[in-house]
Amino acid sequence: MKHPREVLLGAQAALTRLPVCDHYSGVLVRMQKSLQLQAEMMQEFGVCVFDATLDCEDGAPVGGEAEQAALVSELALGAAPGARVAVRVHPVDHPAFEQDVATIAGRAGHRLSHIMVPKVETVQDVIKAVQAIDAAGAKHLPVHVLIESPAAVHRAFDIAAQPRVESLSFGLMDFVSAHGGAIPSAGMGSQGQFTHPLVLRAKLEIASACHAHGKVPSHCVVTEFSDLEAIKVAATKASRELGYTRMWSIHPAQIRPVLEALAPSDHEIEQAADLISAARNANWAPVSHGGQLHDRASYRFFWQVLERAHQTGRHLPDSVELYFGETSCAV
């Protein structure tokens, strides 16, 4: 019997399903702790629930860029088997960019899940990044892109269309700063970023660009890291209202609230499992379930609910758990 993903998603079945949380750290002790926490939570949940992204852009002291690149390479090489480790390099127009990529992709490319490229403005920036990664011998390595300016938002659909691009992230702070004071500082807060029209428009544009090209939209950070309710509310809004399927964290305490907010509820999981089981028993023909008529269009939605439940480490009913493979953090 064919797997539901193959039946319902067709060509989309090959698309990458990323962990719903992308956790950033740049100081040695914090990077070490993030890798340790990733391994511990994989054991707890039975699946890799967040990426550990090691930072060269903001994590490197001025003048210490080469040392930081060497450090994150060694950390990636020493990560646990199957760990999902990524690196944020400097922007393509920064003097340290080429050295970053040559060192990191050249030494540790085979251990990385992707490379994050910040401050991408154009398709040419993506092409330059891909060429540098390929020249370092990591032609398999996906690229994640950080959209941080009005011009980049304008080009989001073209950037998302690039084959090596796997995900677009929204850089809230730089985006607000790029407006020369036209957006008040409240637009960077956990509440204002969901109400200011220019910020909201940018988020929607990025999410739409990603979904148009089968890429993963990743929501920006919440800087109020000690306010766990604020990040849970922000993650819920990003997921339920704006279409984001992934979100950043900058403090370990933010990871679990992101997981909780981006996970489907117990009711949604039960409903999806019941319907997928009924559809499978009908050999994927239309069925009447719960007083409603369903066919493959709605089956596809409910299957994706189950995939998201799996990605967030939620318990799955026995009737559908068999569709999800062995525990792994690997790409």
Confidence of residue 112 (pLDDT cuts 50, 70, 90): very high
* pLDDT tens digits, one per residue of 126-138: 999 999 999 999 9
Mean pLDDT of the chain: 93
Ordered DSSP codes for 13-46: GGS----SEEEEE-SHHHHHHHHHHHHHHHHHHS
* More confident call, 248 vs 60: 248
- Residue 315: what residue type? H
Its domain, for residue 72, covers 21-262
Confidence of residue 324 (pLDDT cuts 50, 70, 90): confident
- What's the pLDDT score for residue 61? 86
Give the sign of the dihedral formed by CA 212, CA 168, CA 141, CA 47.
negative
Boundary (domain end) residue, out of 227, 262, 297: 262
Q: Is the pLDDT of residue 15 over 70?
A: no
Boundary (domain end) residue, out of 206, 241, 262: 262
- What's the pLDDT score for residue 249? 96
Nearest alpha carbon to residue 199 among 262, 147, 126: 147
In terms of domains, do 216 and 323 share one?
no
In terms of domains, do 187 and 325 share one?
no
In terms of domains, do 116 and 253 share one?
yes
Confidence of residue 14 (pLDDT cuts 50, 70, 90): low
Q: What are phi and psi of 169, to 5 degrees?
A: -110, 150
Q: Is the pTM of this model over 0.85?
A: yes
In terms of domains, do 4 and 83 share one?
no
In terms of domains, do 129 and 171 share one?
yes
In terms of domains, do 245 and 323 share one?
no
Coil, strand or helix: which one is 183? coil
- What's the pLDDT score for residue 16? 67
Query: How many separate domains does the chain show?
Result: 2
Q: Is the pLDDT of residue 43 over 80?
A: yes
58 CB-near residues (< 8 Å, 6+ apart): 26, 88
Q: Is the pLDDT of residue 248 over 80?
A: yes
In terms of domains, do 10 and 38 share one?
no
In terms of domains, do 11 and 138 share one?
no
Token look-up 């596809």 returns 300
- What's the pLDDT score for residue 13? 53
Boundary (domain end) residue, out of 234, 262, 290: 262
Q: For 116, which DSSP code?
A: E
In terms of domains, do 209 and 249 share one?
yes
* pLDDT tens digits, one per residue of 258-317: 999 999 999 999 999 999 999 999 999 999 988 899 999 999 999 999 999 998 999 999
In terms of domains, do 139 and 79 share one?
yes
- What's the pLDDT score for residue 331? 41
Overall average pLDDT of the 91-118 stretch: 97
The domain that holds 204 is classified in CATH as: 3.20.20.60
Q: For 285, which DSSP code?
A: -
In terms of domains, do 150 and 198 share one?
yes
Q: Is the pLDDT of residue 330 over 50?
A: no
In terms of domains, do 318 and 252 share one?
no
* pLDDT tens digits, one per residue of 172-205: 999 999 999 999 999 999 999 999 999 999 999 9
Overall average pLDDT of the 59-87 stretch: 94
Nearest alpha carbon to residue 104 among 128, 68, 80, 129: 68
